[in-house]
Amino acid sequence: MPLALLALAVGAFGLGTTEFVMMGLLPDVADDLGISIPTAGHLVSAYALGVVIGAPLLAAVTARMSRRTVLIGLMGLFVAGNALSALAPGEHWLLAARFLSGLPHGAFFGVGAVVATGMVAPERKARSVSLMFLGLTLANIAGVPVATLMGQHLGWRATFLGVSAIGLAAIASLALLIPHDHAHAAPAVGLRRELVALKSVPVWLALGTTVAGFGALFSAYSYITPMLTDSAGYAGSSVTLLLALFGVGATAGNLVGGRLADHSLRGTLFGGLTSLVVVLALFPVLMSAQWSAAVAVVLLGTAAFVTGSPLQLMVMEKASAAPSLASSANQAAFNLANAGGAWIGGLALAAGLGATSPALTGAALAVLGLGVAAVATVVDRRRVDASPGRERVVAAHLPEHAEAVRY
């Protein structure tokens, strides 16, 4: 695997840290700015909104630029957003800075996935994506806890300055390790071609699978703390350690999913979603004891992130002629899943169905994801069945290129 993947992982580590650290800093930020915790929660939404808007927008605007230059520029925007967060004099300035910080998130992962797969052999594409995502999962194990402790002892502003330093390290890594000639090996194709690729039905089915599949995760994970305290009987002080266990499971699932997807992309996707259905359906039982609740947290992270690399690679393959915009749109889909899953899980809680009810709504969403993936498979098979006749016609006129056409 190219060392350049390390640079992408460093950037992903910074992005993952700043995305999730706000959850742990909400009380400190609220006290310092004189606002309520629910109002401070808008800072989480501001970042997510930045991701959803920025992912397709920045990918489209930079479609003709060198991808190496784009990655460095996106991390520069990330550094600026976090530095402004640290210096924000009030709530509204901090909201704007968090929105700015979220803008490069999806585009970085989207363009980074295209760069990562372009530097490896075809049979290692999913593994290369999983190694970039490794920075995101490691952020949940190390980055978020350390950044939260820094904020609690040195002030929340110090946390964002620290995240800015990670961004500067990522810029240096990208400049040193991403080769200059990569843009020539995998050139940008222009906005019109990217938009045409995004019109494809299989691309939208792949994006729909992402929204449903990861919506299942966030339906449960958004309310994991009350599950652990109210159902499993853990003290609130133990939740941080248990969330680190989720990060361990996510890291393991991400690495395993990357390896398996290189052998069978759809098999890994269907297996991961099926595992997610089973784990979420068992949550009411697993949350009845502390030891099984800890196991459930690990299994949730593992089952969900087994599907991460396959989902990203599937979207890119469906838009293979112009993958940057579709790949970035998939990151917007991940964040829509975050918001939608949390909303649906909240409806179950508000209906009085019990502390573990969001896990059951998550299981239903995972089943929906399986259904969308199945439809996508049927569409692909019909397209393949329709193609041999055309291949034979082309091969008859251009026999010297017949093998390339069939490929």
Residues 73 and 108 in one domain: yes
- Residue 337's pLDDT is what? 85
Residues 260 and 377 in one domain: yes
Banded model confidence at residue 2, pLDDT cuts 50, 70, 90 = confident
Task: Give the phi and the psi of residue 247 in degrees, each rounded to 5.
Answer: -65, -35
Residues 141 and 262 in one domain: no
Mean pLDDT score, 138-151: 82
Task: For residue 220, give its domain range.
Answer: 189-407
Residues 373 and 230 in one domain: yes
- Residue 196's pLDDT is what? 66
Indicate the range of 204-213, 260-269, 397-406 predicted with least confidence.
Answer: 397-406
Residues 340 and 277 in one domain: yes
Domain boundary among 142, 162, 188: 188
Mean pLDDT score, 71-83: 94
DSSP state of 294: H
User: Position of tokens 């909400």?
Assistant: 26
- Residue 230's pLDDT is what? 84
CA nearest 97: which of 111, 108, 83, 109? 83
Domain boundary among 188, 204, 220: 188
* pLDDT exceeds 90 at position 323: no
Contacts of 185 (CB under 8 A, 6+ apart): 118
* CATH number of domain containing 355: 1.20.1250.20
Question: At CA 299, angle to CA 298 and CA 302, rounded to 5?
Answer: 90
Indicate the range of 154-158, 165-169, 332-336 predicted with least confidence.
Answer: 332-336
Report the Cα–Cα distance between both ends of the chain, in Å, rounded. 25
Contact predicate 151/159, CB 8 Å: yes
Residues 7 and 144 in one domain: yes
Residues 133 and 210 in one domain: no
Q: How far apart are CA 379 and CA 386, in angstroms?
A: 11
Domain boundary among 188, 210, 237: 188
Residues 227 and 262 in one domain: yes
Residues 228 and 114 in one domain: no
- Residue 194's pLDDT is what? 62
- In this prediction the pTM is 0.77
- Residue 396's pLDDT is what? 41
- Looking at mean pLDDT, say which of 248-252, 332-336, 403-407 comes out highest: 248-252
What does the pLDDT look like over 83-103, one tens digit per residue?
A: 999 999 888 999 999 999 999
- Residue 185's pLDDT is what? 43
Q: Say how many CA atoms lie within 13 Å of 334 toward its Cβ.
A: 25
Mean pLDDT score, 100-117: 88
Banded model confidence at residue 385, pLDDT cuts 50, 70, 90 = low
CA nearest 70: which of 79, 80, 60? 60
Residues 169 and 20 in one domain: yes
* pLDDT exceeds 70 at position 166: yes
Residues 240 and 370 in one domain: yes
Q: How far apart are CA 242 and CA 287, in angstroms?
A: 13
Banded model confidence at residue 320, pLDDT cuts 50, 70, 90 = low
Banded model confidence at residue 66, pLDDT cuts 50, 70, 90 = confident
Residues 107 and 213 in one domain: no
* pLDDT exceeds 90 at position 332: no
Token code pair at residue 16:
């993952």
- Residue 189's pLDDT is what? 54
**Domains identified in the chain, total number:** 2
